[in-house]
Chain A
Amino acid sequence: MKQLHYLLAVAIVCSPVPLVAQQDDPEAVRIALTWHRLTDQPLDVQRVAERSDAVRRASNFDRPDVLAAEVSRVEAMLAAANANELFQMQISDRISEYDHDLGEFSITLFQPGYFIPITAFGEQYQVLFANAEAARPIPMAKEEARAFDQRLNAIYRNVITEVQFRIIGGGDPTGGVTGARVIRAELVSAKVTDRDGRLVATPNVTPAAAAAPFDPRGLDVAGFQVGVSVADLSATLERLYGPVERGGPGENPPPGMTGVVRVNSMGCMSLPGRPEAKPGAVCLTAWHDDKQIVRAIRIERLFPSMDGETVRKSLVARYGPVTKASGNNGFTLGWGPDVVVGRTANGPIQQATLLASFGAHESFMSRGANRIPDTRVVLHLVDVEWASRQPQ
């Protein structure tokens, strides 16, 4: 078992940068390599080799040979990465205030959206635990909690959380941690101590539940499924939303799409000279194939300003563990394998089979009147089984 014994700060997902800069520790490199090996995420071995000390120190004459040797060394390390390897880290952590409703304290590291930042190959990686929720609470009756709270106050609620874990995959199944290099780990054991090494709590560690495989059958977005006839969809849309527009698939459509059905086109955008789009507005576009079968649906709705965490939890409860997540001024969550949804001059545009995005609906009114912007939630579902049969 390889061990890491350095302190790391816990960073929250909204932090623009990790709270403590990380050194490119050899063990952090092993964690990163294990993740790359396990998830088949590509590692730019050439770039990694080029930034190594050995290559940078080499003379111009020797650099090609040193670079080739370094590439071979990194490739060998990647090939040797072992998914069963256990890692151990000590994290500078905090215990929350007592939650009187739930009767528990919370260990910050194990709360949704928190991760351990590590640096390897000059890149930031985020380690989170798939089984963190069971380890998060320190349940306690109120009378016992009062004394415990006083003890925490005496140490400014600062603790050291020692974790032992293995790497099991990539991405945050709750969608709370977004980024390009999210390492999903399984806690094997955990211990919380004060800075003098006295035991504060022993988190409850249970094995991570195996994620159910993504099943696109029967999926719907706001009640609408793919694989239905255009006639049925149009009739339903007419009844629920009013006039339906038919049209061509537009420029650079996804492969196999021959037309679209639209409702309230442009009605979810606020443009000067047009009525402002308000909460409650719903806009839908459905793409169909040459047999008049709906193969993709995109629906969006405007809401009054909402907390993203509420939306994220609702989406995960609705659609299950997230396959991929990204975020910047909002977030995008994806479920299922990637499919081609369009083309540009640079090639096909790919996205997850089911995509949900949350963000602000900025309008000229909210910008000009300093008003809190409304919220936009978009759902986009593609018939992945059909799409996989289309010539790319």
Chain B
Amino acid sequence: MKLSTSPGVVPRIPSIRRWTIASLLLLAWACGGADGPGDSPPTARAPASAGTVWTIDRADDRATAPGAMLAYLHGLHRVVIDGDHTFAGMTRLRASRDTAGNRLLTLGGGLTATLVPEGDLLQLTFSTGETVALRQEEAK
């Protein structure tokens, strides 16, 4: 779901209808758009302050570099996690829960990843086996 519009193409609408349409758009945004297979991933701006920013813990670690690479290709090297929503760049991923109750992210190409808390870190593990730790970014 794309929220962007081109300036200059929105017709003038009476204010009460504007509020109704705005509410419907907000509801659609909150519902997460199309997540089914074959659909484009929903695109949205990351929340301005809600949630927390997580980034790869040890970017210079060669042992976890393959995991960091996969995280980068999927935008998970630096994410905003806000409740059940994960913002990978401008791609909003809705997390489900795996059988152990961990956050499960469905990525493209049949790939999934889990986020498992380990102390202050989140262990990001891909279904192909690569893993890398994320740490919370300090608030700017």
Alpha-carbon distance between A302 and B48 when the two chains are bound, in angstroms: 26
Q: Which B residues lie within 8 Å of A181 (CB)?
A: none
Alpha-carbon distance between A318 and B71 when the two chains are bound, in angstroms: 11
Q: Which A residues lie within 8 Å of B7 (CB)?
A: 291-292
- Number of B positions contacting A (CB below 8 A): 48
User: Counting CB contacts under 8 A, is B89 at the interface?
Assistant: yes
- Are A240 and B69 within 8 A (Cβ)? no
Do A304 and B70 form a contact, CB below 8 Å, given A291-B7, A293-B6?
no
- Are B80 and A314 within 8 A (Cβ)? no
Shortest CB distance A314–B (Å): 5
Do A310 and B69 form a contact, CB below 8 Å, given A293-B4, A317-B109?
yes
- Are B6 and A304 within 8 A (Cβ)? no
Q: Which B residues lie within 8 Å of A228 (CB)?
A: 2, 4, 43, 90
Alpha-carbon distance between A217 and B39 when the two chains are bound, in angstroms: 9
- Are A222 and B60 within 8 A (Cβ)? no
Do A236 and B111 form a contact, CB below 8 Å, given A242-B140, A304-B65, A314-B66?
no
What 0/1 pattern do residues 68 to 95 of B give for CB contact below 8 A with A? 1110111111111000000111110000
- Are A225 and B61 within 8 A (Cβ)? no
**Given A239-B80, A317-B111, 13 additional A-B pairs, CB 8 A:** A218-B41, A220-B75, A220-B89, A222-B75, A222-B77, A223-B89, A224-B90, A229-B5, A235-B46, A236-B46, A239-B49, A293-B4, A318-B108
Chain A residue with the shortest CB-CB distance to B72: A301
Alpha-carbon distance between A304 and B73 when the two chains are bound, in angstroms: 16
Do A232 and B75 form a contact, CB below 8 Å, given A311-B69, A318-B109?
no
What 0/1 pattern do residues 239 to 268 of A give for CB contact below 8 A with B? 111100000000000000000000000000
Chain A residue with the shortest CB-CB distance to B61: A304
Chain B residue with the shortest CB-CB distance to A316: B109
Shortest CB distance B110–A (Å): 9
Alpha-carbon distance between A279 and B55 when the two chains are bound, in angstroms: 13
Shortest CB distance A216–B (Å): 10
Alpha-carbon distance between A111 and B118 when the two chains are bound, in angstroms: 39
User: Counting CB contacts under 8 A, is B115 at the interface?
Assistant: no
Do A217 and B40 form a contact, CB below 8 Å, given A222-B72, A314-B66?
yes
- Using a Cβ cutoff of 8 Å, how many contacts connect chains A and B? 130
- Are A315 and B40 within 8 A (Cβ)? no
Residues of B within 8 A of A (CB): 2-8, 39-41, 43-49, 53, 55-56, 59-62, 65-66, 68-70, 72-80, 87-91, 108-109, 111, 128, 140
Q: Which B residues lie within 8 Å of A317 (CB)?
A: 109, 111, 128
- Are B46 and A304 within 8 A (Cβ)? no
The DSSP consensus for interface residues of chain A is mixed
Shortest CB distance B88–A (Å): 4
User: Counting CB contacts under 8 A, is A190 at the interface?
Assistant: no
Q: Which A residues lie within 8 Å of B90 (CB)?
A: 220, 223-225, 228, 232-233, 236
User: Counting CB contacts under 8 A, is A191 at the interface?
Assistant: no
Subset of 5 A-B contacts with CB under 8 Å: A223-B75, A229-B5, A314-B70, A317-B128, A377-B69
Alpha-carbon distance between A232 and B4 when the two chains are bound, in angstroms: 7
Determine which of B6, B49, B91 lies in contact with A220 in the assembled complex, contact meaning CB atoms within 8 Å: B91
Q: Which A residues lie within 8 Å of B49 (CB)?
A: 239
User: Counting CB contacts under 8 A, is A305 at the interface?
Assistant: yes
Chain B residue with the shortest CB-CB distance to A222: B75
Shortest CB distance B63–A (Å): 9
Q: Which B residues lie within 8 Å of A301 (CB)?
A: 72, 77
User: Counting CB contacts under 8 A, is A4 at the interface?
Assistant: no
Chain A residue with the shortest CB-CB distance to B73: A318
Alpha-carbon distance between A375 and B77 when the two chains are bound, in angstroms: 16
Chain A residue with the shortest CB-CB distance to B140: A242
- Are A239 and B43 within 8 A (Cβ)? no
Determine which of A239, A242, A310, A377 lies in contact with B48 in the assembled complex, contact meaning CB atoms within 8 Å: A239
- Are A240 and B53 within 8 A (Cβ)? yes
Q: Which B residues lie within 8 Å of A318 (CB)?
A: 73-74, 108-109
User: Counting CB contacts under 8 A, is A348 at the interface?
Assistant: no
- Are A225 and B91 within 8 A (Cβ)? yes
Question: A128-161: which residues lie under 8 A (CB-CB) from chain B?
Answer: none
Alpha-carbon distance between A304 and B59 when the two chains are bound, in angstroms: 7
- Are A304 and B62 within 8 A (Cβ)? yes
What 0/1 pattern do residues 286 to 322 of A give for CB contact below 8 A with B? 0000011100000001111110001100110110100
Q: Which A residues lie within 8 Å of B77 (CB)?
A: 222, 282, 301
Chain A residue with the shortest CB-CB distance to B93: A223
Determine which of A225, A242, A303 lies in contact with B69 in the assembled complex, contact meaning CB atoms within 8 Å: A303
Q: Which B residues lie within 8 Å of A218 (CB)?
A: 39-41
